[in-house]
Each structure stands twice: as C-alpha cells, then as structure tokens.
Amino acid sequence: MRKLWVLGFLLGQVAVAAAVPSKLHPPYFLRAKDKLPLNNLACPDVDLQGPGGKPLDLEVNLQPPDSKTMGYLSDPALFEEVQRQKPSETAPQRFYWHMEDEVEYCHFKDMEGNHWYGWEDGDEKFNWVLWRGHRYWWHDSMAGHWLYYYQGVWWRADGQAKDSIQADINGEYYACDARGNVLGDMGTDGNGEIVSAPGRYQGDSPSANGGGHGGHGGHGGHGGHGGQGQGAHGNGQPSQGAPPGTGSPSGAGNSPSVPPSGN
C-alpha cells in the first residue's frame, strides 16, 4: 500500500511539473510612456455588494484572476463600448453591475478616481482588477508586485530587463526571456526563495512572506453591512457598460492589449 501511495505521489508531482508550459506568448515589455499603478495602491477595501445592493459575503481572491474570465474581459469588441458607457458611471464607491454573455461583473470607481472591475469566480472568491493606461492590472498583495494582463498571461511589472521578465504561472513566478521561453521557477515572491509549506502549492511558500498565494487571509473581503458603496444593476439602468478590452487570449497575433497609453 505504501508503494502505491509513493507512486501516486510521484505521478502527481510529474503531472504538476508537466502543467508548466515551456513557452508563452512573447511578452510586452513596459515602456516609459506606460502608466503604472502606484505601489501603495490596493484593491477597494469596501463591503462587497452584488446587484441591487445585495451583500456579498466573499473573500477577495489572492490568486491572479483566471484566464477564462480575463479572456472575456479582454475581448476587443468591448473596448469601444466601455469608452462610451464608462463616463456615465461616475459616482464613487458605487457598484455598477452588468451582465454580458453569462458573465456578471461590476465597475467600481474609488475615491481617487481609479477604475476597478470585479466579479465572483467559481470558487466563491471575489476578483478585482484595475484598469489603467489601457491595460488590466492585478496586485499581488502577498509579494507586493503589480502584474498586467497581456496575451493570456499575467506579467510582473517591476524587475524587467532587456531580455528578462517574470510571468505568473499557476501561482508561481517564472523567469522568461523576450521570446516567451520559460527559464525557471522563481517562487511565489519572484525572488526564488522557496521553503516547504502546506497548501495548494506545497513547498512553494517564500519565508519572507510566511506563506504561499493559496493560504493567506487577504484584505477587502467583507460581506455587505450597509457600509460604503451602493449596488446598481446594469440591466435596464442608465449606468450600463462593459470593461474595455486589452487583448486576446494567448496565441493570438497583434491585439489591442497595448494601444496608445492613457486612461
């Protein structure tokens, strides 16, 4: 029985390793004109509210938003629509909910004027992404990095060099070159410091952070108690819209993921 258990464990480890691709879509390297979020900016820390102001008792997801939903939000066809509709959703601290092709999401403008988009995923977690400079951004609150979405991949904004960049793959930072070749696992903090830890990504928890992506109690995941924000459903309401598109899923050619920079 023990031999079978060991064999099953080894096969599982091989399967996990095989899930890491050897090559990604060539990355987009940030330029001086690109608008990066401030380091101290974080996702809205408010009582989550669903359509009609219904309280949502959900935790904020500490994993990068899944590629399926991001692929939908990155549909270029939505870009023109959001530019037309977003100006009508100006009230700060308010949830503007929309339903498009069975995907329900909200638009939220914080007190500083930042535009956020959020939704509930299949794991009953709430996801936040920031829209800035014609790009979707996600903040890794564990490692303290900002990542931007391009061609189906979340790319780390800081630490880029001429032929070096990091991508998030399955909750890990991987070093890549300018052609998208995956070079090596840098760990959950991107620094390559790995210690053993329990959880979804066993053995991949940086000691500097005290835990991996999967086992940290994040911020902002509150159920609604009549606090900040008011719910508004986009269906039939004046404030309807869709988040702008920033590119097609991995494998596509040139896309609107990197149009001219601006808000």
Surface-to-core class of residue 241, CB atoms within 10 Å of its CB (0-12 exposed, 13-18 middle, 19+ buried): buried
Pair 249, 256: CB distance under 8 Å:
no
List, for residues 102-131, the tens digit of each pLDDT value.
778 899 999 999 999 999 988 889 999 999
How far, in whole angstroms, is CA 78 from its chain's centroid? 18
**Residue 108 corresponds to which tokens in the numbers above?**
């939220």
Instruction: Please state the pTM of the whole predicted model.
Output: 0.70
Average pLDDT over residues 7-26: 65
The domain locations on the chain are 47-135+223-243, 142-217
* 3-state SS, residue 128: strand
Question: Between the CA of residue 192 and those of 41, 130, 185, 204, 217, what are the distances in Å?
Answer: 25, 27, 7, 9, 22
List, for residues 228-260, the tens digit of each pLDDT value.
444 444 443 333 333 333 343 333 333 333 333
Residue 73's pLDDT is what? Answer: 85
Name the H helices within 29-104.
67-73, 77-85
Pair 149, 132: CB distance under 8 Å:
no
Instruction: Tell me the residue type at 200.
Output: R
